[in-house]
Amino acid sequence: MSTSKTKVKKSKKDKILETQNVDELLDVQFGKIGTKGRDDFEEKAQYFVISEMLKEARKEANLTQEQLANKVGTKKSYISRLENGKCDIQLSTLYRIFESGLGRKINLLIG
């Protein structure tokens, strides 16, 4: 008599429902840390965070996108694209926007 174990492949939905924390959910949804899918997600998440911080800081400074653009020597359309996470930003530009344009300090942490 032989007993065979059959593996039943779980659906992605089932795996998501079994997750117990955010890290497990990210693993199921985007892949383990270090995989291309996860790296892509992490990069997009960072752009989103920066864009939301920029938008919030600009509003707290009571500046329009156009006023901020004029203060830092760029175009309103560029500020808009940054706030919507639609373009990359150089560190020098990020510093200039926050420090010169918004009077905020930036600390860079590399982990």
What is the rounded average pLDDT of the residues 41-69?
A: 94
pLDDT score recorded for residue 10: 81
The CATH class of the 12-101 domain is mainly alpha
- Give the DSSP per-residue string, 65-91: HHHHHHHHTS-HHHHHHHHTT-S---H
pTM of the model: 0.72
pLDDT score recorded for residue 20: 87
Q: Is the distance from CB of 24 to CB of 16 less than 8 angstroms?
A: no
Write down the mean pLDDT value for the chain: 89
Residue-wise pLDDT tens digits, 13-35? 888 888 888 888 898 889 999 99
